[in-house]
């Protein structure tokens, strides 16, 4: 009997992607800001109440646009977690900023807000909270500091589509709608995807007009196409951040099925949590922690092992059963590129997650049989260790 391979990720197709791509191509307008780009913008602005949305070729590009918009310059300091993807940092390093890395919380990989204020100096320009696994950071605390010290907040919401934060007044807000700017990813590993792709969300009206210029290579071509001016030219710095309407067509097919995709992913997440709960209760592993102010968008399911050797052993045990599980970020403050630029502070929680966090397969088409095999394999691994 052939053993089924269970990959870590498998892109889910709704069935409309090719149809919409055909429409985009047949329209004769396949460059940026075509019919499907506008449909995607409208979807996000109406469903989540984002003030202004601009699709980009990646979340990386959205972050780079944000760095330009807040006028990051050489010598500025930007605070962000060390436990994040390199794009979060690169966007600001490219503008000359010094990155001040914050440690993760003890309960989950999000940055520890209780230690943020001590990192703020007169050179600090922005805080970049990363909503790891789609679980919100404590945005009340972050926005309070931003107001106190006149800082910008840029939400790295790469993993946070359709996830929410409930503030101190009991008002629930979509992640990405709280900071001055935010960035989303539609990479194929995300809940809603287009292979590659991203989006800049602008919640502060001051940035809307300039964002359209930066996205159009520093020209005011967007205003020209709207009929607001009779010719366009080079008016600011910028780059080519627009995705093809073909990408937007693919993305729109996904957005139309957001509720169905989310329902299935949450069912998978809940299965994992229920079946592995006893291992957490006996202290064998740690399961994801969701604060009472955060919702769960089921972007990923992870467990935290006791040490690096245990994690490697579990990866091997799963692989022996044709199940691919993967660890995640390596602390950026220890990276070959930035370690000599870091201020020398130890960030033990970030390093702890780098060594011990393990992500399990998470995609729409995982079956009950698949999930049973994955959880039973994990259970047997820990039974052998007793």
* 299-313 confidence digits (pLDDT tens): 999 999 999 999 999
Question: What's the confidence (pLDDT) of residue 64?
Answer: 98
How many whole angstroms separate alpha carbon 84 and alpha carbon 111? Answer: 10
267: its two tokens: 């069912």
Q: Please determine, for residue 222, whether its predicted confidence score (pLDDT) is greater than 90.
A: no
Cα dihedral 235, 180, 194, 64 in deg (nearest 10): 50
Residue ranges in 122-257 assigned as alpha helix (H):
139-149, 208-215, 221-225, 245-255
Per-residue pLDDT at 312: 98
pLDDT tier at 229, thresholds 50, 70, 90 = confident
pLDDT at 2: 55
Q: How many CA atoms lie within 13 A of 341 on its CB side?
A: 17
* Helix or strand (DSSP H, E) at 59: helix 59-69
φ/ψ of 240, rounded to 5, equals -90, 90
State the pTM of this model: 0.96
Give the pLDDT score at 1. Answer: 43
DSSP states along 309-360: HHHHHHHHHHHHTTB--B--PPPGGGSTTTTTTS-----HHHHHHHHHEEEE
Q: Once rounded to an integer, what is the mean pLDDT over residues 150-160? A: 98
Write the Ramachandran bin of 365: left for phi over 0, alpha for psi from -120 to 50, otherwise beta.
alpha
Q: CA-CA distance, 101 to 82, in Å (whole number)? A: 5
Tokens at residue 74, please? Answer: 């050489």
- Is residue 188 scored above 50 in pLDDT? yes
- Taking the C-alpha atoms of residue 254 and residue 191, their distance in angstroms, rounded to an integer, is 9
Determine the Cα–Cα distance for residues 276 and 377; give it in Å rounded to an integer: 11
Could you tell me which of 105, 109, 49, 112 has the C-alpha nearest to residue 79? 112
Q: Residues 63, 126: contact at Cβ < 8 Å?
A: no
Largest CA distance in the chain: 75
Of the candidates 107, 158, 179, 136, the one whose C-alpha atom is nearest the C-alpha of residue 295 is: 136
CA dist., res. 156 & res. 225, Å (int): 30
What would the mean pLDDT of 57-69 be, rounded to a whole number? Answer: 98
For range 71-99, the mean pLDDT = 98
CA 340 to chain centre: 27
Residue 264 backbone dihedrals phi, psi, to 5 degrees:
-70, -45
For residue 378, is pLDDT > 70? yes
Mean pLDDT of 274-288: 98
pLDDT at 226 over 80: no
For 200-220, b/e burial (b = at least 16 CB within 10 A) is bbbbeeebeebbbbbbbebbb
Q: Rounded to the nearest 5°, which phi and psi values hold at 125?
A: -115, -25
- CA nearest 62: which of 155, 142, 138, 143? 155
State the DSSP H helix or E strand holding residue 265, giving kind and residue range, or none if neither: helix 258-281
Residue 386 has pLDDT above 70, yes or no: no
What average pLDDT is seen over the chain?
Answer: 96
User: What is the DSSP track for 71-114?
Assistant: T--TT-EEEEESSS-HHHHHHHHTTTPEEEEEPBPSSSSSB-GG
Environment class of residue 330 by beta-carbon count within 10 Å: exposed (0-12), middle (13-18) or buried (19+)?
Answer: middle
Closest CA to 251 of 183, 197, 332, 178: 197
Give the span between the Cα atoms of 36 and 302, in whole angstroms. 34
Domains and CATH numbers, the chain: 17-255 (3.40.640.10), 258-385 (3.90.1150.10)
């Amino acid at each position: 009997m052939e053993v089924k391979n269970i990959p870590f990720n498998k892109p889910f197709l709704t069935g409309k992607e090719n149809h919409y791509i055909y429409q985009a191509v047949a329209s004769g307008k396949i460059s940026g800001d075509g019919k499907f780009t506008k449909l995607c913008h409208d979807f996000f602005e109406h469903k989540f109440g984002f003030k202004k949305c601009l699709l980009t070729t990646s979340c990386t590009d959205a972050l780079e646009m944000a760095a330009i918009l807040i006028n990051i310059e050489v010598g500025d300091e930007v605070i962000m977690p060390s436990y994040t993807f390199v794009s979060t940092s690169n966007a600001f390093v490219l503008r000359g900023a010094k990155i001040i890395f914050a440690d993760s919380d003890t309960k989950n990989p999000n940055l520890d807000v209780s230690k943020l204020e001590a990192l703020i100096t007169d050179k600090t320009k922005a805080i970049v909270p990363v909503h790891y696994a789609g679980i919100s950071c404590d945005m009340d605390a972050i926005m309070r500091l931003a107001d106190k010290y006149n800082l910008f907040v840029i939400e790295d919401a790469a993993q946070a589509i359709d996830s929410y934060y409930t503030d101190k007044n009991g008002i629930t807000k979509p992640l990405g709608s709280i900071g001055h700017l935010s960035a989303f990813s539609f990479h194929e590993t995300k809940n809603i995807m287009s292979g590659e792709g991203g989006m800049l969300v602008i919640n502060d009206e001051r940035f809307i007009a300039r964002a359209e210029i930066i996205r159009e290579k520093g020209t005011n071509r967007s205003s020209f196409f709207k009929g607001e001016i009779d010719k366009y030219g080079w008016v600011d710095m910028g780059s080519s951040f627009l995705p093809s309407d073909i990408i937007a067509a693919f993305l729109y097919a996904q957005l139309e099925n957001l509720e169905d995709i989310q329902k299935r992913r949450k069912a998978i997440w809940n299965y994992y949590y229920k079946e592995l709960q006893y291992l957490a209760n006996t202290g064998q592993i740690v399961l994801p922690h969701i604060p009472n102010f955060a919702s769960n968008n089921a972007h990923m399911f992870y467990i935290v092992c006791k040490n690096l050797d245990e994690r490697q052993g579990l990866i091997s045990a799963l692989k022996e059963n044709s199940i691919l599980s993967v660890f995640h970020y390596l602390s950026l403050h220890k990276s070959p590129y930035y370690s000599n630029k870091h201020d020398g502070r130890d960030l033990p929680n970030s390093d702890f997650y780098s060594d011990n966090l393990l992500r399990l397969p998470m995609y729409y088409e995982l079956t009950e049989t698949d999930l049973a095999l994955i959880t039973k394999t994990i259970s047997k691994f820990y039974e052998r260790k007793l």
